[in-house]
Amino acid sequence: MHGYALIQNIGKMTNGRVVLGPGTLYGAINALVQKGWIAAISAENDTRKKEYIITEAGRSAFLREVDRLNELIRDSNTA
């Protein structure tokens, strides 16, 4: 997805609870690119827009974070 599509999709996925401004989004995108977690690719029909895909390193980081959050949930249920 390109940046504007991400802003729209995140808003829909969170029922409007998360509203990202362009500065916030593009700052996060730049950080993810620098970490090697996503990679920019050219949009199919518009060379002015960049689309991003998750890398293997990004997928691994995501899965580690899911595990960490699940552990927090498990710990809170046993307290």
Q: What percent of the chain has pLDDT over 90?
A: 71
pLDDT 10s digits, 21-49: 999 999 999 999 999 999 988 766 666 77
Length of the chain in residues, anyone?
Answer: 79
Give the model's pLDDT for residue 13.
Answer: 95
List the domains of the chain with CATH numbers: 3-78 (1.10.10.10)
Asked if 77 and 71 count as a contact pair (C-beta separation under 8 A), the reply is: no
Q: How confident is the model at residue 3 (pLDDT cuts 50, 70, 90)?
A: confident
Which residues contact residue 41 at a Cβ distance below 8 angstroms, ignoring those fewer than 6 apart?
Answer: 50, 51, 52, 53
Paired tokens of 62: 């995501």
Contacting residues for 9 by C-beta, under 8 A, at least 6 apart: 1
